Amino acid sequence: MKKLLITGVSGFLGYHVCQLASTSTQQQWEIYGTYFSHDIQIAGIKLIKTNLAHYQSLKQIFAQIQPDAVIHTAAISQPNYCQNHPDESHAVNVTASINIAELCAEKSIPLAFTSTDLVFDGKNAPYKETDTVNPVNLYGEQKVLAEQGMLAKYPLTAVCRMPLMFGNLTPTATSFLQNFIQTLIAGKELNLFIDEFRTPASGNTAATGLLLVLTKNLQGIIHLGGAERISRYDFGQLMVKTFNLPATGLKACRQADVKMSAPRPQDVSLDSSQAFAWGYQPLFIQQELEAIKKYIQVD
């Protein structure tokens, strides 16, 4: 059986990728997953605790496992945290990612890397793969440096730009969905932007896209956005409708109303028509929410 190394399996996306890869009928994998601060057990997955910022540990993992393919989802993924911890986040988001590309290049094995829609400034959406990057925060800058550094070291890297993701809880990670639901159920105010637009996808859909990229051995920059563009506020309205939540707390606000460490672009919707043509088929958001409804506790 071929060996698949997935980094960041204690994270939201990495966990979904693990679940999907371990049940894939297209390709059977022996799966190895890395985690760092959140101890996790996943049935059927061989788990390795490691700090990817330590090059020697990374090198040892590659030498021991000898993976046939890698999906690199691990990152310091919170833009505000990156803005306030530039060196720590650079070591993981940039340096470790480039090191992984170098190690994959040595063996010429497929590598899918998860970048972000936040590489764009939000002024000219929807964005195609060929559009110019111009991040407005440090997290976006780090992802751009990682993309460029990885492609320079290993041009066969698949740089997958992921959209905003949502979904059911994993053992060690949440998505924003759970906080939104709890806030509304508690009768508190949930202020969502009417002027921030994304093309969201569920964790499960995003994982499907990453595995498709690997199976088809795609390379270069690939947008894996969701099926439709939506504002944060309209997303909240769909949630209220789908999960029968109390709507009184849902309030519209604007980006300018909220002060955050990391500046936020207004519209980083992705044009993912290239991936759609390759067979990536995200559901519409209402359908995505219906599909995850059974996992969501709303009482």
Ligand X SMILES: NC(=O)c1ccc[n+]([C@@H]2O[C@H](COP(=O)([O-])OP(=O)(O)OC[C@H]3O[C@@H](n4cnc5c(N)ncnc54)[C@H](OP(=O)(O)O)[C@@H]3O)[C@@H](O)[C@H]2O)c1
Which residues bind to ligand X, rule: CB under 6 A? Answer: 8, 10-14, 34-38, 50-53, 73-77, 92, 114, 116, 162, 164-165, 173
Can you say whether residue 22 is alpha, beta or left, with left for phi > 0 and alpha for psi between -120 and 50 degrees? alpha
Residue 187 or 268: which CB sits closer to ligand X? 268
Please report how close the Cβ of residue 121 comes to ligand X at its closest, in angstroms.
16
Strands 197-198, 46-49: pairing kind: unpaired
- CA atoms of 9 and 234, how far apart (whole Å): 30
Please report how close the Cβ of residue 233 comes to ligand X at its closest, in angstroms.
17
Please report how close the Cβ of residue 34 comes to ligand X at its closest, in angstroms.
6
Residue 202 or 248: which CB sits closer to ligand X? 202
Residue 108 or 292: which CB sits closer to ligand X? 292
Q: Which residue has the tokens 């995505």?
A: 288
Residue 174 or 248: which CB sits closer to ligand X? 174
Please report how close the Cβ of residue 32 comes to ligand X at its closest, in angstroms.
13
- CA atoms of 77 and 115, how far apart (whole Å): 10
Please report how close the Cβ of residue 246 comes to ligand X at its closest, in angstroms.
25
Residue in the shown chain whose Cβ atom is closest to ligand X: 11
Alpha helices in 24-155 (DSSP H): 55-65, 79-84, 86-90, 97-107, 138-153
- CA atoms of 3 and 18, how far apart (whole Å): 13
CB 158 within 8 A of CB 111: yes
Residue 44 or 246: which CB sits closer to ligand X? 44
Please report how close the Cβ of residue 204 comes to ligand X at its closest, in angstroms.
12
Residue 25 or 47: which CB sits closer to ligand X? 47
Residue 278 in 3-state DSSP? coil
CB 146 within 8 A of CB 118: no
